Amino acid sequence: MASIEHHVLDRPSFDTPVKLLIVVSPYYKQIADNLVAGAKAEIEAAGATWDLVEMPGALEIPTAIGIAERMSNFDGYVALGCVIRGETTHYETVCNDSSRALQLLGLQGLCIGNGILTVENTGQAEVRADPAMQNKGGGAAAAALHLIALSRKWGRSSKGVGFKPASEYQLAENTGPSIA
């Protein structure tokens, strides 16, 4: 089988600082460490900064991102971990539910790169996690950076929700009916 060349988008650039949160499950520590190394390198190459938190498993990653979005000031998130198929249906639950939760957060406007590997065996995970090979950690960070660039291109400077102050509206003087 011939290998297919993958196209990689140019790295986005930013006029103002970018800070990402890497949320990783180190359940398979060596694989997680490689994913994190790839993500850190990509983030730093874009001139951005990062913070890192660890969660027990892939199911907790979306919740941690949701908490960080409500309680902190990150521009985007990188979800990293690995789920290897076992003998039970737990694999499907973890893969589907973590992916679905991340997708729902993304549809709410969060900039998330999903680097949670879902593989059949350790060998597949090692190839995908290795920064010198498939570098899926770097790819997830790149995805988050591209989403941040897009949100900055189309978005507003405030993440606030609610009423706009009157100063944001253009009020013309004497445009309404007068009462005499």
So which residues are the catalytic ones? 90
14 within some domain: no
Contact 35, 86 (CB under 8 A): no
58 within some domain: yes
User: What proportion of the chain, given as a percentage, has pLDDT over 90?
Assistant: 82
pLDDT at 113 over 90: yes
3-state SS, one letter per residue, for 74-88: CCEEEEEEEEECCCC
| pTM of the full structure | 0.85
Contact 25, 55 (CB under 8 A): yes
pLDDT of residue 157: 55
157 within some domain: yes
Domain count, the chain: 1
> Could you tell me how far CA 14 lies from the centroid of its own chain?
17
97 within some domain: yes
115 within some domain: yes
Contact 11, 46 (CB under 8 A): yes
7 within some domain: no
50 within some domain: yes
- CATH code: domain of residue 56: 3.40.50.960
pLDDT of residue 172: 45
Beta strands 76-84 and 19-24: pairing type? parallel
For residue 179, what pLDDT band results from cuts at 50, 70 and 90? low
Domain that holds residue 140: 19-168
pLDDT at 171 over 70: no
* 117-152 pLDDT per residue, tens: 999 999 999 999 999 999 999 999 999 999 999 999
Cross-sheet strand order for the sheet of 76-84: 49-54, 19-24, 76-84, 112-119
Beta strands 76-84 and 49-54: pairing type? unpaired
